[in-house]
Structure 1
Amino acid sequence: MGQSPRIAIIAIVDDERAVRSGLSNLLQSVGYETDTFDSAEAFLRDSVRLASVVLAIVDVKLKGASGFELFDTLIGLPAPPPVIFISGHGDETVQQQALERGAVAFLRKPIDVDMLLRHIERVLAAGEGTA
């Protein structure tokens, strides 16, 4: 038998359970596979799942390492996933920092679902063009 295809996963990293489950349910309802993590450390610890992540949705403020610290670690990987930052505390400065670091988007909570889905579709379409 041949190799099984690589599963493409959208990772959701947020220390609020309601946000993780809400985003996961939303994305699964439109056909995406998701995996959720309550901290940057938990996300980085699972190297097998990390290798399958095609996009990460990351809260800026997390318990433990911040979303920005997680991003800095991710960009050091051989094939870092694109990151969409989310925040309930984000002001213009935080948004600017996120985008200057290389995030594909910054969304404030409560999240505009249509905007989130547009960003996801754009990122994944760009990634699929190289396959």
Structure 2
Amino acid sequence: MMLSPRIVIVDDERSVRSGLCNLLQSDGYDTDAFETAEAFLQDKSALADAALLILDVKLKGMSGFELFRQVAAQPSPPPVIFISGHGDENMLWYAINLGAVTFLRKPINVDTLLDYIRRELSAREERP
């Protein structure tokens, strides 16, 4: 039996974490959620088991962009989707230039989010 891909959400808003977890679980994914980048980094298995990360840009403590840089330095880092309620087109291009899959503004269009997730995870499965 194949395990469901695990998607990790790092967002300081409890309602966002809960809503995304519920959405992703209803679509067949396993999830982990963290309030801060620091809490995520302390859980060594969270990064090791992650198929994809959804990171809020503005977090308490370390920002989502700072967390991305630390994750990107790891061997075989998972793909990242950035989310924020405060972003603009400049933030989108900054995120893309860092190497993120995309940047989505809150409130998030769930169909768009799920499309990005499915495409990215399918592309990863096809790579050798």
**TM score, norm. by length of structure 1:** 0.93
Contact 2:79 2:101 in 1 (8 A): yes
Counterpart of 1:100 (choices 97, 101, 124) is 97
1:23 matched residue in structure 2:
20
Contact 1:7 1:52 in 2 (8 A): no
Change (3 A) 1:48 1:6: farther
Gaps in structure 2 of 5+ consecutive residues: none
In the alignment, residue 88 of structure 1 is paired with which amino acid?
A: G
SS in 2 for 1:106: strand
Gaps in structure 1 of 5+ consecutive residues: none
Compute the displacement of 1:115 (Å).
0.3
In the alignment, residue 20 of structure 1 is paired with which amino acid?
A: R
Alignment length (residue pairs): 128
Contact 2:57 2:65 in 1 (8 A): yes
Q: Structure 1 CA distance, aligned partners of 2:25 and 2:4?
A: 14
* Identity across matched positions, percent: 60
1:38 matched residue in structure 2:
35
Q: Structure 1 CA distance, aligned partners of 2:57 and 2:107?
A: 14
Compute the displacement of 1:73 (Å).
0.3
Compute the displacement of 1:49 (Å).
2.1
Q: Which has the larger radius of gyration?
A: 1
SS in 1 for 2:90: helix
State the superposition RMSD in angstroms: 1.5
Q: Structure 2 CA distance, aligned partners of 1:104 and 1:73?
A: 16
Compute the displacement of 1:92 (Å).
1.5
